[in-house]
Structure 1
Amino acid sequence: MGSRKAFSTGVVPIEGTFHLGVQGTVSARHLPDLNASPFFSTAGRQYRYDYSTAKVKGWLKLHYVPTTWHQARMRCHAEGAVLASPLNASFLHAMTTMMSTNISTTKCGVLSGIHAIFYEGVYSSLEGIPLSRIPVRWAPDEPHYNEDNESCLLLLPNGDMAVINTSDVYPYICYKKKTKNVLTGCGTYDSNYHLEPRIGSCYKFHNTCLTWHKAYMTCAGEGGHLAIINSAIEAEALKELYAKYPSNTINCRYKDSAMIGFLDWTQDSVWLTIHGETLQKAGYSSWSNGAPDNATRGNLGQQCGAILRTGLLNDVWCAAVPFAFICEKSPDSLLFDNDLDYI
């Protein structure tokens, strides 16, 4: 049997700045109705522990690991944010200040959300603000086009902008606009996460299908991970969650398998969770009849893991074929250290 899932959570009045928590053995009698009772509003609060308050009516987060424009946009979206753009003087100041305090990482610039992806030369921010309404200051010899796909703008540390290729990799900043959304008992503003009292984890079923690796990134961006089954009880809980999404609500071809957090890492038929445990050690290894069968699709084998509607395990294709998927997160995964002091 794998290790028990860590569980810690608590109750906070909406006007409060602290919460009292419970920790340890999960018991229904210890658990408040966290999905019915919000922690607190975003008013006057931080968004999540990895975002910083900025004077742009919201929060910013610098992603240090360079990536392409499309991947940056997707990661910010998964975090409930948007790829930041210097929309006005306040945004420009906030973004360049964040860059200056991390200059070893950002000395070559950060990706912005200003792009001309849809039509060459027609630039706008991801919020839809046209370039003509954004106070862009071009770097010397810019805008200069050297090759195809140069349709994204890079923000340099001095506040200048340059045109880059969509395949170029740079750090980037995500922006979350301040709203009056409510932080739920799952420690997130995403109301689609629900606490499972039998387990102590929160789960979200994604019926907008993605390939396995994009699903992995999406769960990580939401502060969680693709679900890992540690017991028959947890398998039953995910089976019940799946049942809430009949076939007509799932927007892809394969509607009876939902991807979760295990795979054949080295393609040698050794199935491990994304945290590196064998299925047996994790606590659940009940395959459906005939699985894993590594059915081929062209030159693609089935090296990624899924759960069937029956609660049994199945193998699916990692790439090219999208599936529904289930994310799991701890209720405290996005909270601040000073919040955790009260748990």
Structure 2
Amino acid sequence: MTPKTCYTRGSKSIIRCKRFCDGQPELKFFRSDYVYLNCANSFYKVHTKAKTWWNAKEKCDLEGAKLFYPDNNIELDEVICHINKTNPNIDLIHIGISATQTKGVFLTVDGVPIRDVFSNWMAGEPNDATAEDDCVVMNKLGIYQDSKCNTWLPYICKKTMQSFREWNAECKSPFLGYKFNKEMNKCYKFHTQPKSWRDAEKICEAEQAYLAIPNSKQEADHLSKITNDNPKNYDGYYLSGAVHLGYRFDETIEDWVTLKGETLEQAGYSVWNYYQPDGGEKEYCGGMFYNGEFNDISCETQDCYFICERDIDEIGGKTGKN
């Protein structure tokens, strides 16, 4: 097979990539939205939606991965090749190196000093030109520059095969906290760190799930059981007695709708607790009391435990890993 040139610098070809390094070989599976690159023995996801460095790092962490930085020149070449084949319009990305802990001391997201890992600085970099350039970006030639951490850029999340130890076969997920329910044919995870409704929605989405939506009295009872059976040992402030669920108020139709776009009635369950919804404190998002009945909750200011739900039949990929 003839290798394909990904791009050139001047007249000199600097990256040549082989097709076998850009697929998902049998049983090399982490998540359906990640690609396995054989030459680096790791999984990657190119996020084209720009974020700040901090938000990019958080997103990768939530997905069970880490903000990418290259371990060596071989990995650098393969990842750049992948970017240029799949997202050729990306010119600059955040990478997992920063000096946010100590000014001028650059560490990887794994806490390793940059002097001890592969690096490819542009001449004269890092120069802290703005006195706020504490994060590192990489251009499509693989060259590093320091930059402001609040710059909005695309980024890549990486999961190494070495760090991928366990697999939730029933729920087709690397997240072991999901439990399969045969009657619903779904998986559920009770999160024991209270969050706002908005943050809970983001966490579920990062796990290829969504805030739970009861479609029947039976499912509502199951969510209530999950809630009551799980420990609640969080010491900080949170709204006790309720959990976040996947519905909110839609002002355009003046009705409550699920994250799948259905009204509660269309979804199959709409049992509110007494005097709910009451609209207190701009409560435009959905929750459930521990008895399985609905209540309205603030989208931003009320932290609660929450349940993520995963439709395993809609998730692509294999049920095992190498």
TM over 0.5: yes
Residue equivalent to 2:223 = 238
The reply on whether 1:150 has 2:133 as its aligned counterpart is: yes
* Separation in structure 1 between the aligned mates of residue 96 and residue 81 of structure 2, nearest angstrom: 18
Query: Which secondary structure does the structure 2 equivalent of 1:96 belong to?
Result: helix
After superposition, the C-alpha distances for 1:221-263 in whole angstroms (9 at most, x for unaligned) are 1111111111111100100000112443575422321111111
Relative distance call for 1:311 and 1:103 in structure 2 (3 A) is closer
SS at match of 1:315: strand
- Note the aligned Cα RMSD (angstroms): 2.3
Structure 2 distance, partners of 1:77, 1:267, is: 34
- From the superposition, tell whether residues 111 and 250 of structure 1 become closer, same or farther in structure 2 (CA, over 3 Å): same
Q: How big is the shift at 1:45?
A: 2.4
Match of 1:21 in 2: none
Partners of 1:267 and 1:119 lie apart in 2 by: 48
Gapped runs of 5+ residues in structure 1?
Answer: 1-41
Residue type of the alignment partner of 1:56:
A
C-alpha distance in structure 1 between counterparts of 2:41 and 2:62, whole Å? 20
Higher relative contact order (CA 8 A, sep 6+): 1
The one-letter code matched in structure 2 to 1:51 is Y
> Percent identity of the aligned residues?
27
Instruction: Name the counterpart of 2:250.
Output: 265
TM-score (norm. length: structure 1) = 0.78
Q: Is the 8 A contact 2:31 2:174 kept in 1?
A: no
Tell me by how many angstroms 1:144 deviates.
3.2
In the aligned structure 1, how far is the partner of 2:283 from the partner of 2:252? 9
8 Å CA contact 2:28–2:36 kept in 1: the answer is no
User: Whole-Å Cα distance in 2 between the matches of residues 283 and 146 of structure 1?
Assistant: 58
**1:166 maps to 2:136:** no
Correspondences of 1:74-113 after superposition (within 5 Å): 74-107=58-91, 109-113=92-96
1:219 and 2:204 aligned: yes
Alignment-mate amino acid for residue 202 of structure 2: M
Q: What SS does the aligned partner of 2:97 have?
A: strand
Inter-partner Cα distance in structure 1 for 2:135 and 2:313: 36
Give the partner amino acid of 1:105.
Answer: N
Match of 2:55?
A: 71
The alignment status of 1:281 with 2:281, answered yes or no, reads: no
- For residues 248 and 135 of structure 1, do their structure 2 counterparts lie closer, same or farther at Cα, with a shift above 3 Å needed? closer
CA contact (8 A) 1:58 1:176 kept: yes
Q: Deviations over 1:277-324 (max 9, x none)?
A: 11111111111112212222xxxx211111110101111111143221
Aligned AA for 1:285? S
1:46 maps to what in 2? 29
Q: Look up the equivalent residue of 1:215 and give its one-letter code.
A: A
Aligned counterpart in structure 2 of residue 119 of structure 1, from 102, 106, 109: 102
- Alpha-carbon distance in 1 for matches of 2:288, 2:128: 48
2:290 maps to 1:306: no
Gaps of 5+ in 2: 1-24
Matched, 1:254 2:239: yes
Q: Give 3-state SS (helix, strand or coil) of 2:36's partner.
A: strand
Match of 2:276 in 1: 291
Match of 1:61 in 2: 45
For the residue of structure 2 that corresponds to 1:60, the secondary structure is strand
Tell me which amino acid in the other structure corresponds to 1:304.
C
Amino acid at match of 1:260: L
Compared with structure 1, are the counterparts of its residues 90 and 129 closer, same or farther at alpha carbon in structure 2 (3 Å cutoff)?
A: farther
- For 2:234 and 2:35, locate their aligned partners in 1 and report how far apart those are by CA, in whole Å: 37
Corresponding residue number in structure 1 for 2:4: none
Kept in 1, the 8 Å contact 2:52–2:149? The answer is: yes
Verify: 1:200 aligned to 2:185, yes or no.
Answer: yes
Report what 2:305 is aligned to.
324
Q: Give how far 1:85 is off.
A: 0.8
TM-score, L = length of structure 2: 0.83
Equivalent residues of 1:250, 1:324 under 8 A apart: no
Deviations 1:111-132 (A, max 9, x none): 1111122232222111111111
TM-fit CA distance, 1:103? 4.5
Give the secondary-structure state (helix, strand or coil) at the position aligned to 1:64.
strand
Matched to 1:137, the amino acid is N
